[in-house]
């Protein structure tokens, strides 16, 4: 069996997956969800010319040659509150008091802030003066937010495949878009396997350990926008494994994820069961930790078998399952953002693409430095608890000196 590069393994997984269906949701429920269609603006934003200050709307031509030493008085002919629809048309020598966000009256092309007039009063309920003295020359358009300056009607504001953030939800509200087509959350059935595993509530017994992966991987699935179908813990027995896997079918899982039980251990039945109910290939991926990776399908459901060691399972998730969830969930898969960090210690690697647990911190010269978490054994979940990043050491590199720059994923 030859070694697959991480990139090749990722591509093979993504090529086997199709986005799930969509649903139509009220705006409030769309936060963190993936948009299924491009959205174009239904109106201009702002929808009308409006004032960006509390002040007096006027004709900028009336303010030519004004200075603090030679001010000019304008007649105040209207008082325009936010939300009102002014009917007045300003003529030469006229102004209208106007509030922030209020629609500009016709004839006006600029707004002077109250503080540049002799009427610097903002208190609620104060009537407008009949004359206002202006101490400053204004350019056309000054303190005006023109209609359509932010967005033009018809312009695409959000693209299919974007995961919606609070500001995206806000702009959709501004546009009056109350419901959206959204990819439904991909459902991932999750199984831990091994006779040594106990549920978290159980007292510890000799020879046993508690099942960490159901929790870590379950939390990772949720954080990636997936829905977890928890299949629990499979003992190393054929019928029990089979009946748990059937639950993935019942719950219409979009993908099946297992941890452990796919190595060459004598008690590893999982692989036989998947093989005889679908397809299964074992990849030796040129990466560390987590070289063995199983990929296939169980009764039509795409399947990824992660290693059992808690750190290997975590890294395998970040490298393979997170992008898979993005693909299933309709999300545009862009390369994950990487930071450039400087090594504060020498690093030895073994030539595989390595994902090393590290702590990144800022330095006084403005760069980021990275130190490895103490011991990198793939069973040592605590080293991952203390890490805030994974350093990515490229394939082919065997050692790096202090001060070398490497890429990192923030955790």
**Interacting span for Mg ion (CB under 5 A) from 86-94, 223-231, 255-263, 299-307:** 255-263
Nearest C-alpha neighbor of 359 from the set 379, 345, 348: 345
Q: Of all residues in this chain, which one has the CB nearest to ligand AMP in the complex? A: 308
Among 19, 46, 105, 194, binds ligand AMP (CB under 6 A): 194
- Site map (CB under 6 A) of ligand AMP, residues 352-381, x = contact: ---------------------------x--
Q: Can you say how many angstroms the Cα of residue 106 is from the centroid of all Cα atoms in its chain?
A: 43
Q: Is the peptide bond before 299 cis (omega within 30 degrees of 0)?
A: no
**Interacting span for Mg ion (CB under 5 A) from 99-107, 191-199, 277-285, 286-294:** 191-199
Binding to ligand AMP, residues 240-299 (CB under 6 A): 259-261, 263, 265
- What distance in Å separates the CA atoms of residue 198 and residue 266, rounded to the nearest whole number? 20
Nearest C-alpha neighbor of 305 from the set 313, 332, 28: 313
Q: How many residues bind Mg ion (CB under 5 A)?
A: 2
- Is 60 a binding residue for ligand AMP by CB under 6 A? The answer is no
Phi-psi region of 148 (alpha: psi -120 to 50; beta: other; left: phi over 0): left
Is the CB of 189 or the CB of 260 nearer to ligand AMP? 260
Among 196, 227, 275, 407, binds ligand AMP (CB under 6 A): 196
Phi-psi region of 314 (alpha: psi -120 to 50; beta: other; left: phi over 0): alpha
Is the CB of 134 or the CB of 313 nearer to ligand AMP? 313
* Buried/exposed 223-259: b ≥16 CB within 10 Å, e otherwise: ebbbbbbbbebbbbeeeebeebbeebeeeebbbbbbb
Binding to Mg ion, residues 257-296 (CB under 5 A): 260
**Interacting span for ligand AMP (CB under 6 A) from 126-134, 138-146, 306-314, 348-356:** 306-314
- Minimum distance between the CB of residue 285 and ligand AMP, rounded to whole angstroms? 15
Among 81, 149, 209, 410, binds ligand AMP (CB under 6 A): 209
Q: How far is CA 28 from CA 161, 187, 207, 331, in A?
A: 18, 22, 49, 19
- What distance in Å separates the CA atoms of residue 193 and residue 232, rounded to the nearest whole number? 8
Is the CB of 113 or the CB of 307 nearer to ligand AMP? 307
> What is the chain's Cα-based Rg?
31
- Minimum distance between the CB of residue 322 and Mg ion, rounded to whole angstroms? 24
Cβ proximity of 192 and 259 under 8 Å:
yes
Which segments of 259-353 does DSSP mark as H helices, in order? Answer: 270-276, 310-316, 322-328
Binding to ligand AMP, residues 75-134 (CB under 6 A): none
Among 192, 286, 373, 376, binds ligand AMP (CB under 6 A): 192
HSE of 114 in the Cβ direction (CA atoms, 13 Å)? 15
Is the CB of 260 or the CB of 328 nearer to Mg ion? 260
For 184-264, strand residue ranges (E) read 187-193, 197-198, 209-210, 227-234, 255-259
Is the CB of 213 or the CB of 369 nearer to ligand AMP? 213
- Is 308 a binding residue for ligand AMP by CB under 6 A? The answer is yes
- Is 194 a binding residue for Mg ion by CB under 5 A? The answer is yes
How many Cβ atoms sit within 10 Å of the Cβ of residue 331?
A: 22
DSSP secondary structure, 324-338, as one string:
HHHHHTT---PPPP-
Nearest C-alpha neighbor of 402 from the set 336, 320, 344, 359: 344
Q: Could you say which of ligand AMP, Mg ion, none residue 226 binds, taking C-beta under 5 to 8 angstroms by partner kind?
A: none
**Interacting span for ligand AMP (CB under 6 A) from 125-133, 157-165, 305-313, 391-399:** 305-313
Is the CB of 86 or the CB of 194 nearer to Mg ion? 194
- List contacts with ligand AMP (CB under 6 A): 192, 194, 196-197, 209, 211-213, 259-261, 263, 265, 307-310, 379
- List contacts with Mg ion (CB under 5 A): 194, 260
């Amino acid at each position: 069996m030859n070694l697959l590069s991480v990139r090749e393994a990722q591509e093979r997984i993504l090529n086997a997956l199709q986005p799930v269906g969509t649903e139509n949701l009220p705006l409030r429920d769309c936060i963190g969800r993936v948009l299924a269609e491009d959205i174009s603006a239904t109106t201009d934003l702002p929808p009308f010319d409006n004032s960006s200050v509390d002040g007096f709307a006027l004709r900028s031509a009336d303010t030519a040659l004004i200075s603090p030493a030679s001010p000019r008085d304008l007649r105040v002919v209207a008082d325009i509150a936010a939300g009102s629809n002014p009917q007045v048309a300003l003529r030469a020598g006229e102004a209208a008091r106007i509030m922030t966000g209020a629609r500009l009256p016709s004839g006006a092309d600029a707004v002077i802030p109250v503080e540049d007039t002799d009427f610097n009063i903002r208190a609620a309920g104060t009537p407008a003066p009949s004359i206002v003295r202006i101490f400053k020359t204004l350019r056309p358009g000054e303190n005006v937010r023109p209609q359509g300056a932010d967005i033009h009607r018809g312009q695409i504001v959000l693209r299919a495949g974007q995961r919606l953030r609070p500001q995206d939800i806000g702009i959709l509200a501004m546009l009056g878009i109350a419901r959206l087509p959204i990819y439904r959350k991909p459902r991932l059935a999750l199984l831990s396997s091994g006779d040594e595993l106990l549920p978290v509530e159980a007292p510890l017994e000799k020879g046993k350990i508690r099942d960490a992966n159901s929790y870590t991987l379950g939390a990772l699935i949720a954080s990636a926008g997936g829905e977890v179908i928890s299949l629990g813990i499979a003992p190393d027995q054929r019928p029990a494994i089979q009946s748990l896997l059937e639950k993935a079918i019942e719950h219409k899982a979009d993908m099946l994820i297992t941890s452990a039980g796919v190595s060459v251990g004598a008690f590893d039945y999982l692989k036989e069961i998947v093989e005889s109910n679908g397809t299964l290939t074992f990849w030796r991926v040129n990466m560390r930790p987590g070289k063995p990776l199983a990929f296939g399908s169980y009764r039509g459901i795409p399947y990824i078998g992660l290693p059992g060691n808690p750190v290997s399972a975590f890294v395998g998730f970040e490298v393979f399952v997170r992008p898979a969830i993005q693909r299933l969930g309709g999300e545009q898969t862009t390369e994950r953002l990487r930071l450039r960090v400087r090594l504060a210690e020498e690093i030895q690697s073994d030539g595989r693409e390595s994902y090393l647990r590290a702590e990144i911190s800022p330095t006084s010269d403005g760069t980021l430095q990275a130190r490895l978490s103490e011991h990198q054994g793939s069973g040592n979940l605590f080293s991952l608890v203390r890490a805030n990043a994974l350093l990515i050491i490229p394939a082919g590199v065997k050692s790096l000196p202090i001060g070398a720059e490497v890429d990192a994923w923030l955790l």
